[in-house]
Amino acid sequence: MAILVTPQTKLLVQGITGEFGARHTKLSLDYGTQVVAGVTPGKGGQFFEHGGHKVPIFDTVADAVKQTGATASAVFVPPPFAADAILEGVDAGLDLVVAITEGIPVRDMVRTKQAMAGSKTRLIGPNCPGIVTPGTGKDSHGGCRIGIAPGYIHKKGNIGVVSRSGTLTYEAVWQLTSRGVGQSTCVGIGGDPVNGTSHLDVIKLFNADPETTGIIMIGEIGGSAEEEAAEWIAQHCKKPVAGFIAGATAPPGRRMGHAGAIVSGGKGTAEAKIAAFKAAGIGIAATPSDMADTLLKMM
Amino acid sequence: MNIHEYQAKQLLKQYGVAVPPGDACKTVEEAQAAAAKIFAVGNKLAVVKSQIHAGGRGKGVFKDGFKGGVKLAKSAEEATVHAKAMLGNTLVTKQTGPDGRVVSTVLVAAAEDIKKEFYLAVLLDRANSRPLIMASTEGGVDIEEVAEKTPEKIIKEHVDPAMGFQPWQGRKIAAALGLKGDLASQAAKLFAGVYKAWWEADASMVEINPLCVCVGADGKEKMVAVDAKIGLDDNALYRHKDIQEMRDLAEESPLEIEASKFNLNYIKLDGSIACLVNGAGLAMATMDIIQHYGASPANFLDVGGGASKDQVTAAFKIILSDPAVKAIFVNIFGGIMDCNVIATGIVAAVKETGLTLPLVVRLEGNNVVAGKKTLAESGLTLITGDSMADAAKKAVATVAK
């Protein structure tokens, strides 16, 4: 079944006509993803054309949902307008909004998260690579690719991957695929301090998904989301989990690229997170090169 | 982005937060005038404070041996002498590192008659994505130590972002700090002002340590923010022109400023193996794997999703300007970007910079076969690694010799 999205999921893209959004919409179409609509205010009625696909563009998300039945959205809208775009998706009743945009002010996300409470919409991101549920075709073609991950590195299978970082997700996925092991779904939850979906949220979904038989959880310095997930895993998770925490060598008080990757006031250290993983029985990859092997040894 | 104490106080003042009267001075003459003003209105004591972004100023030592980045003065003359000793001098504190920071501004302010010190901060609680007010009766000391040894002495109050800070919350915190009567109502107003400043400035943190009960010249007690520190959300700076102007480039590393011009995210560290990586997570992990195999990373460097020839060349130049660097480890997982474009960029950058240090390259991803071929046929003496671990071991081996 995979989690969050399946190859049948109907996707709309907010910001489809921007350079970044357009480039990745083309890649998703090439991958075989059901991109059914685009939204760019003021460009309603036009079409996004690529490789024989003709995707209708709408002025509003509500219109796009009504006309096409889209249930998920990828947000490629620039930072000053991204929170507004997310809330438009929530208002339109989407099941899933995946915010790829990097650089959204924290205050905007604090308000957005508050405003979303009680809605049916799940937000993934922002500042994330997105989600991939691999397909069964060549190079996992025919899957659902929402965001900016390279589709071809995936392979249909049974391992769930959750990470804050894009390139580390790709690294883990490629390690699995190179060993002939496929993935159920790969989720990048994003590197910002305020995000819509946590490690724990995704772990719970993987735990409940009959298709997922093992999990790779990649964390990094900052916050305490990894510790919370580890605590739950120790109590409830029925599946083997292997993990890696990035940033053991990062100096305290410095933001390491991601807005959320910072050790401040002695909180959010790699040491504390690794200790929490160990206490929860999560397999620790000694290096980022060993993520897949660490999990496979546990299975 | 961080701002200086005097800038933080200017900002807080706009929100009705009382701060000691004083002026930021860039010259001895300005300091003299500011000090004279303070003593002219009946103050008995002034304080001269070095304005640098690092903490531990009071216990810091200047490079010429002058002790203390924060000094009290009993007269305008004494304050001027202190200002003269500090301005243009380099202050080394436990947070600056051995290089220290040049003091180009001093804050000359009235030294308040302090009766009691508290701690106050507003920050984001990442665990529930809500603003958090932290206060403590243990002010003027290292709050991390208080949190560790006596956590019960830290008062925490979350704020509903839609509602904003409420008056009852101000009364609650004031009462918990043991404040009564007029001081309690002053404190409640001050908390509301500090929260509003945090929210409206898009701050990541506002810290007032100490927040003091002071006795004014009129004998009345008042709540005063004696020190203040503000960190700002870089992502929100675009909507705060006034705060952008507070940026002090002298407080930032020249290499990091240079890197940002090329959209490179570079942070200098103390090790000998420089890294050039795409993606923040992989960049951190690359530093970690270097350490795992027994060497130390010289930097964090994320070239982002593009990694053009110009970017790679700029990155090499920045890396090579650090004399501690003994080898370079390029670790690229080119998911979408073409590995051959990156390989071409690497070859061009090596030729342009005349690189002589060992270079270890690990390329993976899109069009990797062509990329590896480009590297192999370049005639350059570079070392390639098949996996991240393989390449990291080889990079460490080059500096172990």
Task: Find the CB nearest A249 among B147, B291, B389.
Answer: B291
Q: Are B258 and B316 in contact (CB under 8 A)?
A: no
Instruction: Report the CATH number that the domain containing residue B186 is assigned in CATH.
Output: 3.30.470.20
How many folded domains does chain B comprise? 3
* B55 vs A contacts (CB less than 8 Å): none
Distance from C-alpha of A7 to C-alpha of B317, rounded to nearest angstrom: 45
Average pLDDT over residues B244-273: 93
Average pLDDT over residues B53-61: 93
Distance from C-alpha of B147 to C-alpha of B77, rounded to nearest angstrom: 41
B87 lies in which domain range?
21-111
Q: Which of B91, B111, B131 is the last residue of a domain?
A: B111
* A221 vs B contacts (CB less than 8 Å): 284
Q: Do B142 and B6 fall within a single domain? A: yes
Tell me whether domains A11-124 and A155-298 share a fold.
yes
Residue spans of alpha helices (H) in A92-218: 106-116, 166-178, 199-208
Average pLDDT over residues B197-224: 94
Instruction: Report the CATH number that the domain containing residue B333 is assigned in CATH.
Output: 3.40.50.261
A20 φ, ψ to 5°?
-65, -45
Say yes or no: domain A11-124 is CATH 3.30.450.20: no
- Please tell me the predicted confidence (pLDDT) of residue B146: 85
Average pLDDT over residues B34-48: 95
CB pairs under 8 A between A and B: 172
State the nearest Cα–Cα gap between A121 and chain B, in angstroms.
17
* B1 vs A contacts (CB less than 8 Å): none
Q: Do B152 and B119 fall within a single domain? A: yes
- Please tell me the predicted confidence (pLDDT) of residue B306: 66
Q: Is the pLDDT of residue B69 over 90?
A: yes
Nearest CA-CA partner of A40 in A62, A21, A16: A16
Q: Do B248 and B259 fall within a single domain? A: no
Interface test with A, best of B119, B125, B129 (most A CBs within 10 A): B129
Q: Which of B52, B78, B111 is the last residue of a domain?
A: B111
Q: Do B150 and B269 fall within a single domain? A: no
Q: Do B139 and B175 fall within a single domain? A: yes
The band of B310, judged by pLDDT with boundaries at 50, 70 and 90, is: confident
A256 to B127: CB separation less than 8 angstroms, yes or no? no
Q: Do B261 and B389 fall within a single domain? A: yes
Distance from C-alpha of B222 to C-alpha of B208, rounded to nearest angstrom: 15
State the nearest Cα–Cα gap between B297 and chain A, in angstroms.
8
Query: How large a percentage of chain A has pLDDT more than 70?
Result: 100
Q: Do B341 and B363 fall within a single domain? A: yes
Q: Do B240 and B271 fall within a single domain? A: no
Say yes or no: domain A155-298 is CATH 3.40.50.261: yes
State the nearest Cα–Cα gap between A107 and chain B, in angstroms.
6
Q: Which of B94, B111, B128 is the last residue of a domain?
A: B111
Task: Find the CB nearest B333 among A79, A170, A265.
Answer: A170
Give the CA diameter of chain B: 82
Q: Do B138 and B222 fall within a single domain? A: yes
Q: Do B135 and B185 fall within a single domain? A: yes
Nearest CA-CA partner of A279 in A221, A206, A227: A227
Instruction: Report the CATH number that the domain containing residue B62 is assigned in CATH.
Output: 3.30.1490.20
Q: Is the pLDDT of residue A194 over 90?
A: yes
Q: Do B103 and B149 fall within a single domain? A: no
For the stretch B57-62, contacts whose Cβ atoms lie closer than 8 Å and that sit 24 or more positions apart, written own/partner, are B57/B91, B57/B93, B59/B93, B59/B94, B60/B91, B60/B92, B60/B93, B60/B94, B60/B96, B60/B100, B61/B91, B61/B92, B62/B86, B62/B89, B62/B90, B62/B91, B62/B92, B62/B100
Which residue is closest to B284 within chain A, CA to CA?
Answer: A247
ipTM of the complex: 0.94
Q: Do B347 and B365 fall within a single domain? A: yes
- Please tell me the predicted confidence (pLDDT) of residue B12: 98
* B233 vs A contacts (CB less than 8 Å): 105-107, 259
A258 catalytic residue (yes or no):
yes
**Per-domain residue ranges of chain A:** 11-124, 155-298
Q: Is the pLDDT of residue B305 over 80?
A: no
Distance from C-alpha of A207 to C-alpha of A263, rounded to nearest angstrom: 30
Q: Are A259 and B235 in contact (CB under 8 A)?
A: yes
